[in-house]
Amino acid sequence: MSDKKDQINNFKKAISSTLRAISKKKDIDINFGTDAYVDSNSVTLPLPSIQLEDLEKREIRGVADSIALKFKYHNKKTHESLKPKSKVANKIFDSIEDARYESLGIIEYSGIKNNLEKNMEAKYKNNHINKLINRNEIAIEDAAKLIIQEKLTNKKLSKDLLDITNTWRKDLEPIIQQSIDDLKFNILKQKDFSTISLKLSKELQSIQAEADIDQDNKDEDQDDIDNEDNEQKQENEEENQNLSEQDTESEENLSSEQEDTDTDIIDDENSDSENNKDANPFYTTPLEDKDKFSYATYTKKFDETINAQDLCDQDELLRLRSNLDKQIENMDNIISQLANRLQRKLMAQQNRWWEFNLEEGVLDAARLPRIIINPLQSLSYKKEIESEFKDTIVTLLIDNSGSMRGRPITVAALSADILTRTLERCGVKVEILGFTTRSWKGGKARDEWIQKGRPSNPGRLNEIRHIIYKSANNPWRRAKTNLGLMLREGILKENIDGEAIEWATERLNKRSEKRKILMVISDGAPVDDSTLSTNSGSYLDKHLRQVIKKTESNANIELLAIGIGHDVARYYKQALTIVEVDQLGGAITNQLAILFDKKNNTNQIKNKYS
């Protein structure tokens, strides 16, 4: 074991020395952690595993080499000054710049090419590269980067990377080829190179838009086919069932015709009753109480609002997060597809125009003829102006009750992780909150109530705990470890949903974003034994419905509920239910597509996945 540790330490030293040598920055601070991270003078590289196989070494070297080349050849201020406003074009613009400084490294250092290729291959290693035929599984910015890098260096890509680029090559290569000579000529001049790549990134963005439209059409066609198949299958099953019932009925008639007739009458009555009962299995407006319901709390002095990292030490949080990662590591495709669809919805709400006759910006090519006619005329520049975009924040409020223990809370944590990564890719801020109680059966609040003689109708009689897993201004990469806390024994106790929704709503009301969405992930039923044993049995249920009604009538907040293993549609107007993680992509995609679509935003669609 000591030999293995020495080997890992030697590898870390070698990587650090190489990074400093290539970047020509001897004072750079190099660390090793779970995710690669780069700051002005600090780098975090992936932490090597105990096995440290050759493939893993090359992947880590690839990350280190790319970072070193970025330090050496990349100027952040120059890059930021020319970035496009569109998120898709911006990603392509970034990838073209990556291709520039990495190409310089490949040309200068012969051994870097293989390391960089292994780093890119690692990104798609769970996707079985050799079987990829659908380009929606490959990010357009990655394909563009590789094709441009191939042409800048005149070096062939590895077989696996060729498979990646070939999914997009037919559409991207003709456009890239038009600019490649200018890119090669300016490869050492970042500003001139970026001016060319800015135009190229916007042209490539249109290819992505066309691909998205094609994919949507294919999805709709497939849905139609699936619906037709399901309808046909259902008709066949009904026909077979009718035939079977007819055969059974004939046999029974032979023995006792009158008895069969009486049974048919009873069956018809039961059938009508059952149909009436289940005519609307989703949301129904609750009946108004004769006496106006009033909710109260016995005491709030033992209540707690706390950050997730304060409830658990860092080592245990890392272990719990590792358990969560094992279940999410094969879900990158779901994240990418969901993000692409949401990006289209958000981009559709953006309006842009150009401001002309400026002294700096992008050269206005349409006004160049006047310079030819009169060389004394000054050059004219233009600048892209983006209209005010409707800022959005999404709050994920997760039930941390004992009834969610096991599979439901794991699905909830995975849901939060996927949603956060997806929405942040779309530029939407996300807050993750949890709600439970500090104790079982009342805790200190109940003890105080007993000491004071057990007054009647005490109201909520427990000490609530509201947990902040991720604040809206904290990015996912910094808060993702906190989500592992949901898997910790002893955290999940009882749940008082109504007050949790009020808490989340208050936090949303303090935000400056123009659009606010509250997504409740729960099993739908508020339960607190101490409160329910000292008040009416529907006390918490009535309060939850009251709070939901108030929130849904609030024009500033859109409320959506996701049931984990339980149907929550009896409480919320807009709700869906999921049971397994593999249903998550389709279910959430459909629901969020509605929320982010202006035309359909007012529609309340109820979907159930069981």
Per-residue model confidence as pLDDT tens digits over 379-415 = 777 776 654 445 788 999 999 988 788 777 887 788 7
CATH of the domain at 572: 3.40.50.410
pLDDT (0 to 100) of residue 259: 38
Tokens 């990377």 belong to which residue?
Answer: 161
Note down the domain range covering 539: 304-328+389-583
Rounded to 5°, the CA angle 180-185-188 comes to 115
Radius of gyration of the chain (CA): 30
pLDDT (0 to 100) of residue 193: 93
Q: pLDDT-based confidence at 171, cuts 50/70/90?
A: confident
Same domain as 446, residue 377: no
Counting residues of the chain whose pLDDT is more than 70, the rounded percentage is 72
332-369 tens-digit pLDDT: 555 556 656 666 655 555 545 567 777 777 787 777 77
- Mean pLDDT, residues 251-263 taken together: 40
- Report if residue 227 sits inside a domain: no
Same domain as 198, residue 177: yes
Task: List % helix, strand, coil for the chain (3-state, nearest 5).
Answer: 55, 15, 30
- Report if residue 601 sits inside a domain: no
Is residue 230's pLDDT more than 50?
Answer: yes
- Mean pLDDT, residues 11-39 taken together: 84
Same domain as 372, residue 418: no
pLDDT (0 to 100) of residue 189: 92
pLDDT (0 to 100) of residue 238: 54
65 CB neighbour count, 10 Å cutoff: 27
456-470 tens-digit pLDDT: 888 899 999 999 999
- Report if residue 589 sits inside a domain: no
Q: pLDDT-based confidence at 556, cuts 50/70/90?
A: confident
Alpha-carbon distance of 447 to 534, in angstroms, equals 13
Provide the 3-class DSSP secondary structure of residue 488: coil
Q: Which of 81-85, 465-469, 501-505 has the lowest mean pLDDT?
A: 81-85
Counting residues of the chain whose pLDDT is more than 90, the rounded percentage is 21
Same domain as 186, residue 147: yes
pLDDT (0 to 100) of residue 250: 43
- Report if residue 267 sits inside a domain: no
Alpha-carbon distance of 171 to 539, in angstroms, equals 61
Dihedral sign, Cα of residue 502, residue 506, residue 507, residue 511: positive
- Report if residue 288 sits inside a domain: no
The answer to whether 362 and 449 are in contact (CB under 8 A) is no
Same domain as 438, residue 365: no
pLDDT (0 to 100) of residue 610: 40
- Report if residue 148 sits inside a domain: yes
pLDDT (0 to 100) of residue 383: 75
Structural domain total, the chain: 3
Same domain as 37, residue 144: yes
pLDDT (0 to 100) of residue 223: 47
Question: What is the average pLDDT score of the chain?
Answer: 76
Q: Which of 46-60, 136-150, 440-454, 575-589 has the lowest mean pLDDT?
A: 575-589
pLDDT (0 to 100) of residue 354: 66
Q: Which of 211, 239, 270 is the last residue of a domain?
A: 211
CA diameter of the chain: 110
- Report if residue 382 sits inside a domain: yes
- Report if residue 249 sits inside a domain: no
Same domain as 529, residue 396: yes
Same domain as 541, residue 422: yes
Same domain as 494, residue 451: yes
Helices 314-328, 407-425: axis angle to 10 degrees equals 80
pLDDT (0 to 100) of residue 278: 34
Same domain as 576, residue 521: yes
pLDDT (0 to 100) of residue 212: 59
Residues recorded for the chain: 610
- Specify the higher pLDDT residue, 434 or 268: 434
pLDDT (0 to 100) of residue 390: 52
pLDDT (0 to 100) of residue 465: 93
DSSP calls for 404-427: GTTHHHHHHHHHHHHHHHHHHHTT
Same domain as 426, residue 534: yes
- Specify the higher pLDDT residue, 213 or 576: 576
Alpha-carbon distance of 520 to 576, in angstroms, equals 11
- Mean pLDDT, residues 283-304 taken together: 70
User: In the numeric block, which tokens belong to residue 86?
Assistant: 């569109």
pLDDT (0 to 100) of residue 99: 94
Alpha-carbon distance of 175 to 144, in angstroms, equals 10
pLDDT (0 to 100) of residue 51: 74
- Mean pLDDT, residues 27-44 taken together: 79
pLDDT (0 to 100) of residue 133: 52
Tokens 């105080």 belong to which residue?
Answer: 448
Q: pLDDT-based confidence at 146, cuts 50/70/90?
A: very high
365-374 tens-digit pLDDT: 777 777 777 7
- Mean pLDDT, residues 279-288 taken together: 39
Is residue 90's pLDDT more than 60?
Answer: yes
pLDDT (0 to 100) of residue 290: 43
Is residue 18's pLDDT more than 80?
Answer: yes
Q: Which of 181, 211, 241 is the last residue of a domain?
A: 211
Same domain as 567, residue 419: yes
155 CB neighbour count, 10 Å cutoff: 14
